[in-house]
């Protein structure tokens, strides 16, 4: 009897950045894990990345047109974006890769936004180019949990972005502002960030680890980054409040500093040096493994979530919408009269943050609140898995 053997599903994962930013590397890792949940362990994943060399641990990695280039080559690639898709070498290679796929997926993140003209140019020349290629390929396409929508007044860009996203099988957003931006697109759904979903999957181990944590906060680790495209006043307020928070915690806690990103344009180590913080600094991953803090204060969302996944409470100083969306999904945003563990990094009260971290039963309270979001997070993950399978089989 002839036996029919189905071949593994081939997924092309677009918009990967660099694993030198541990948050972006984590999103790629969690995306691949999601595909294997949906389609089995044999699933083949091709990664399209801005920094392909940083993903050396993966077997099938491709350079993202324009974004993977440097210097004059990047400028030339950006200029070629005015040409129809497929007229230059980079997009021809991408189209050939997409033609071999069963499913195209946009990695989760915040790359479909723009706060100023330069970011709008990068969006158009880099990420929208990959989106146009996905539209041209005509393959079923799903975009994982995103923060979407240029905040600058650029209506043609906003309409173009919304129009392309409307053509895909499903688009997931991780915050309410993005959901409002895509309100007219029937294929848009609210779902947690992938790292938040991973928190729910590991809930039993994390809660068990949290149950044996000490009640006292004696070691606080900071994950800081240079302020993004804020006004001068916002940057000064952020740095002043951060220094005051460190000073407020120092008399009762040992303070550590951890690096979460050394990627292009995201060099945390250089920022620490600009603050006068010298000496060898561990990556957040190494710190969590080898010098475990009682609490992490992180300006990077995925620094906060990486801490949670290791069973360490994290206070998030959020610089954009994604942080408030994630902490709302986790039950840690302080709504309904409950004390929150997230604040606006551009305008936070260091005394209030210190009072939350050092409060009586702070660690137990943190995990009680975090556990309240499990059911909603689980439902979001199942919705994404269902969308991937429907798109693949549709």
Residue 385 lies in a domain: no
pLDDT at 382: 95
Could you tell me what percent of the chain has a pLDDT over 90?
56
Q: Is the pLDDT of residue 279 over 90?
A: no
Residues 56 and 138 in one domain: yes
Q: Is the pLDDT of residue 132 over 60?
A: yes
Residues 158 and 271 in one domain: no
Residue 388 lies in a domain: no
**Mean pLDDT on 92-113:** 94
Q: Is the pLDDT of residue 142 over 90?
A: yes
Last residue of a domain, one of 148, 173, 190: 190
Q: Measured between alpha carbons, how far is 389 from 367 in angstroms, rounded to an integer?
A: 33
**Mean pLDDT on 109-134:** 84
Residue 132 lies in a domain: yes
Residues 325, 316 contacting (CB under 8 angstroms): no
Residues 29 and 116 in one domain: yes
Q: Is 175 helix (H, G, I), strand (E, B) or coil?
A: coil
Q: CATH no. for residue 273? A: 3.40.50
Number of folded domains in the chain?
2
Residue 391 lies in a domain: no
Instruction: Count CB neighbours of 291 within 10 A.
Output: 13
Q: Note the pLDDT tens digit of each residue in 242-271.
A: 999 999 999 999 999 998 877 656 688 888
pLDDT at 96: 95
**Mean pLDDT on 80-90:** 55
Residue 12 dihedral angles phi and psi, to the nearest 5°:
-100, 120
Residues 99 and 184 in one domain: yes
Residues 230 and 252 in one domain: yes
Residues 353, 315 contacting (CB under 8 angstroms): yes
pLDDT at 118: 75
Tokens 């499903």: give the residue.
Answer: 170
Residues 215 and 161 in one domain: no
Q: Is the pLDDT of residue 79 over 70?
A: no
Residues 271 and 148 in one domain: no
**Mean pLDDT on 60-89:** 63
**Mean pLDDT on 297-318:** 91
Residues 218 and 328 in one domain: yes
Residues 74 and 139 in one domain: yes
Confidence bin at 128 (pLDDT 50/70/90): very high
Residue 79 lies in a domain: yes
Residues 141 and 230 in one domain: no
Q: pLDDT higher for 382 or 200?
A: 382
Confidence bin at 364 (pLDDT 50/70/90): confident
Instruction: Count CB neighbours of 56 within 10 A.
Output: 9
Q: Is the pLDDT of residue 378 over 70?
A: yes
Domain containing residue 99:
10-190
Could you tell me what percent of the chain has a pLDDT over 70?
90
Minimal CA–CA distance to 297: which of 251, 348, 336? 348
Q: Note the pLDDT tens digit of each residue in 206-216.
A: 777 777 777 78
Residue 138 token pair: 């005509």
Q: Note the pLDDT tens digit of each residue in 12-31.
A: 999 999 998 777 888 999 99
pLDDT at 339: 58
Residue 393 lies in a domain: no
Residues 42 and 73 in one domain: yes
pLDDT at 215: 77
pLDDT at 74: 46
Q: Measured between alpha carbons, how far is 103 from 87 in angstroms, rounded to an integer?
A: 23
Residue 381 lies in a domain: no
Last residue of a domain, one of 130, 163, 190: 190
Q: Note the pLDDT tens digit of each residue in 25-58.
A: 889 999 999 999 999 999 999 999 999 999 999 9
């Amino acid at each position: 009897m002839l036996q029919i053997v189905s071949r593994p599903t081939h997924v092309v994962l677009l918009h990967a950045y660099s694993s030198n930013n541990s948050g972006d590397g984590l999103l790629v890792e969690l995306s691949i894990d999601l595909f294997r949940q949906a389609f089995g362990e044999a699933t083949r994943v091709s990664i399209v990345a801005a920094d392909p060399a940083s993903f050396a641990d993966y077997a099938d990695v491709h350079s993202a047109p324009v974004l993977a280039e440097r210097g004059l080559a990047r400028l030339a690639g950006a200029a070629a974006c005015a040409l129809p898709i497929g007229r230059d070498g980079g997009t021809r290679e991408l189209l050939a890769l997409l033609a071999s796929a069963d499913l195209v997926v946009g990695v989760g993140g915040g790359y479909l936004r723009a706060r100023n003209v330069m970011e709008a140019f990068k969006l158009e020349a880099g990420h929208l180019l990959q989106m146009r290629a996905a539209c041209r390929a005509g393959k079923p396409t799903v975009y994982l949990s995103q923060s979407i929508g240029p905040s600058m007044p650029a209506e043609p860009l906003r309409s173009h972005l919304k129009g392309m996203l409307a053509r895909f099988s499903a688009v997931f957003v991780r915050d309410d502002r993005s959901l409002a931006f895509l309100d007219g697109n029937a294929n848009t759904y609210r779902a947690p960030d992938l790292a938040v979903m991973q928190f729910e999957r590991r809930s039993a181990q994390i809660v068990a680890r949290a149950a044996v944590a000490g009640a006292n906060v004696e070691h606080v680790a900071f994950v800081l980054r240079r302020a993004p495209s804020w006004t001068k006043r916002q940057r000064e307020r952020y740095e002043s409040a951060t220094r005051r928070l460190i000073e407020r915690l120092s008399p009762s806690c040992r303070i550590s500093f951890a690096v979460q990103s050394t990627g292009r344009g995201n060099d945390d180590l250089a920022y620490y040096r600009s603050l006068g913080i010298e000496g060898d600094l561990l990556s957040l991953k190494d710190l969590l493994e080898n010098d475990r803090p009682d609490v992490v204060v992180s300006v990077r969302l995925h620094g906060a979530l990486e801490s949670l996944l290791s069973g360490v409470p994290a206070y998030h100083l959020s610089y954009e919408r994604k942080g408030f969306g994630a902490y709302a999904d986790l039950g840690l945003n302080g709504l309904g009269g409950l004390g929150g563990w997230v604040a606006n990094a551009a305008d936070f009260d260091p005394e209030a943050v210190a009072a939350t971290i050092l409060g009586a039963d702070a660690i137990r309270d943190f995990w009680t609140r975090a556990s309240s979001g499990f059911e909603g997070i689980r439902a979001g993950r199942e919705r994404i898995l269902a969308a991937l399978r429907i798109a693949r089989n549709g």
